């Protein structure tokens, strides 16, 4: 079977290998069979291994849904009755965390920062000192719209000093940047199969502290489908997901994990970095500017400012590239229009070089001046 290979430069779902796509074609199976439970068990262990979690201390809980489900589950499940959440917010995804707190009416404090600034540690410490009722501190590892990297290890150290837990949205860094759950001071992290592991949408996972999940058994239950303890407990007793899992997506994830470990954490990380470097070099050659300076970027997303050129029309450029197998993605940051070129997925330098041939042709076709003009 020949499947057209599209290069997705959007922030997930990412380009997958054919072997991962084809792994979904399996004989029909009832997911309550022992064979399937064994598959889930191996999958959970492998997902834990990616962040080097000690299985005595950490576990992986699977859910059926996209990445936002993990954020919902962690925020609604891990807050004791008389405690507060602190959200360190410097981007779109942490703002989504704020909205989840609002929807559940959870008590929270928002530490709002500009999209290009990381937290000031002295200010964070002061806030934690003055608010001893903060228990759950939440932030996003990489803000996927801007590409900003947050210093989670340092944040986690402070959170632990004040007896809190750190929940990090690692959806766009898990299996992309090397992570060590314990050394990085993470109590809970999360991801979704369509991002770092280069598999299919529909399977999401939360990896975190067994002791904290056990403790959450007595916390208020604010959701039925999206409760972490209930799902964890079902896995513990039955080795399965509480409700119907995304069967074929799970077979694809299994294949993707085999490919992840065959490539290796470091080699994969370096592949993403060289893809990102190639993107930055080509953008600079054409005169494009990124929203963030290089040293603030995680090295996985280039957020690019729209040119000040009357012939620039993102959607026309997008369509030109899309018809030729390359997908680029718009995004607004503060008041600035931008588009994104992301380095996740089963792609390498050659794909980026091929993309820039098409992208440059699109710019010339629509008579956007080169080098790119900014006022
Ligand atoms: C992709 C992503 C999510 C999840 O988005 P879904 O559309 O629900 O899959 C959450 N957080 C971050 C940082 C992401 O990049």
Q: How far is the CA of 68 from the centre of ligand 1 (A)?
A: 6
Helices (H) and strands (E) in the chain, counts: 12, 14
Looking at the CA of residue 141, tell me the nearest atom of ligand 1: 13
CA-proximal residue: ligand 1, atom 3 (nearest): 67
The whole-angstrom separation of Cα 78 and Cα 229 is 9
pLDDT tens column, 264-311 = 999 999 999 999 999 999 999 999 999 999 999 999 999 999 999 999
- 115/131 Cα distance (integer angstroms): 24
**The whole model's pTM is what?**
0.97
User: Does 15 contact ligand 1 (Cβ within 6 A)?
Assistant: no
Token representation of residue 100: 């989840």
Give residue 304's pLDDT.
Answer: 97
Alpha carbons 213 and 230: distance in angstroms, whole number: 10
With a cut of 90, say whether residue 326 has pLDDT above it.
Answer: yes
Beta carbon of 70 within 6 Å of any ligand 1 atom? no
Mean pLDDT of the chain: 97
Measured CA to CA, the distance from residue 356 to residue 22 in angstroms comes to 29
Residue nearest to atom 6 of ligand 1 (CA): 67
| pLDDT, tens digit, 9 for 90 and up, residues 154-187 | 999 999 999 999 999 999 999 999 999 999 999 9
Could you give the residue ranges of the DSSP H alpha helices within the chain? 18-22, 34-50, 68-77, 92-104, 121-130, 152-161, 210-215, 228-238, 247-263, 265-286, 314-322, 349-365
The separation between CA 305 and the C-alpha centre of its own chain, rounded to angstroms, equals: 22
Q: What percent of the chain has pLDDT over 90?
A: 98
Residue 25, CA distances (Å) to 1, 20, 247, 251, 360 in order: 12, 10, 10, 8, 38
C-alpha of residue 298 to centroid of ligand 1, in Å = 16
Question: What sign has the CA pseudo-torsion 227, 229, 234, 240?
Answer: positive
What residues does each domain of the chain span? Answer: 26-262, 264-365
Q: Which atom of ligand 1 is nearest to the CA of 144?
A: 15
- Given CATH 2.40.70.10, say whether it is the number of domain 26-262: no
Residue 124 has pLDDT above 90, yes or no: yes
Mutate which of 67, 199, 344 for ligand 1? The one with the most ligand atoms within 8 Å of its CB, which is: 67
- For the chain, the maximum distance between any two Cα atoms, rounded to a whole number of angstroms, is 64
Q: How many residues does the structure list for the chain?
A: 375
> At residue 243, does pLDDT exceed 90?
yes
Q: CATH class for domain 264-365?
A: alpha beta
């Amino acid at each position: 079977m020949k499947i057209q290979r599209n290069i997705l430069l959007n922030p997930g779902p990412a380009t997958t290998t054919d072997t991962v796509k084809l792994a979904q074609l399996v004989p029909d199976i009832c997911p309550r069979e022992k064979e399937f439970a064994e598959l889930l068990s191996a999958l959970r262990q492998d997902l834990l291994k990616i962040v080097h979690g000690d299985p005595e201390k950490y576990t992986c809980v699977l859910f059926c849904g996209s990445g936002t489900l993990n954020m919902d589950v962690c925020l609604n499940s891990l807050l004791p009755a008389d405690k507060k959440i602190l959200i360190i917010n410097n981007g779109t995804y942490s703002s989504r965390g704020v909205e989840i707190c609002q929807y559940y009416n959870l008590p929270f404090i928002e530490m709002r920062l500009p999209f290009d600034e990381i937290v000031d540690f002295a200010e964070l410490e002061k806030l934690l000192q003055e608010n001893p009722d903060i228990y759950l501190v939440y932030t996003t590892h990489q803000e996927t719209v801007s590409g900003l990297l947050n210093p989670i290890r340092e944040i986690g150290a402070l959170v632990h000093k004040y007896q809190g837990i750190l929940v990090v949205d690692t959806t766009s860094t898990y299996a992309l940047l090397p992570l060590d759950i314990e050394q990085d001071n993470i109590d809970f992290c999360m991801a979704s199969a369509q991002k770092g592991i280069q598999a299919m949408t529909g399977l999401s996972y939360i990896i975190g502290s067994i002791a904290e999940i056990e403790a959450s058994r007595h916390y208020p239950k604010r959701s039925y489908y999206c409760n972490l303890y209930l799902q964890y407990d079902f896995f513990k007793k039955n080795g399965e997901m509480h409700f119907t899992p995304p069967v074929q997506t799970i077979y694809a994830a299994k294949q993707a994990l085999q490919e992840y470990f065959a490539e290796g954490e470091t080699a994969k990380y370096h592949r993403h970095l060289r893809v990102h470097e190639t993107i930055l070099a080509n953008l600079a050659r054409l005169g494009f500017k990124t929203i963030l300076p290089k040293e603030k970027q995680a090295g996985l997303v280039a957020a690019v400012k729209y040119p000040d050129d009357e012939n620039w029309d993102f959607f026309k450029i997008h369509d030109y590239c899309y018809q030729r197998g390359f997908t680029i993605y718009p995004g607004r940051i503060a008041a600035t229009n931008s588009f994104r070129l992301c380095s996740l997925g089963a792609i390498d330098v050659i794909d980026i070089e091929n993309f820039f041939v098409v992208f440059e042709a699109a710019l010339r076709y629509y008579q956007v001046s080169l080098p790119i003009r900014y006022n």
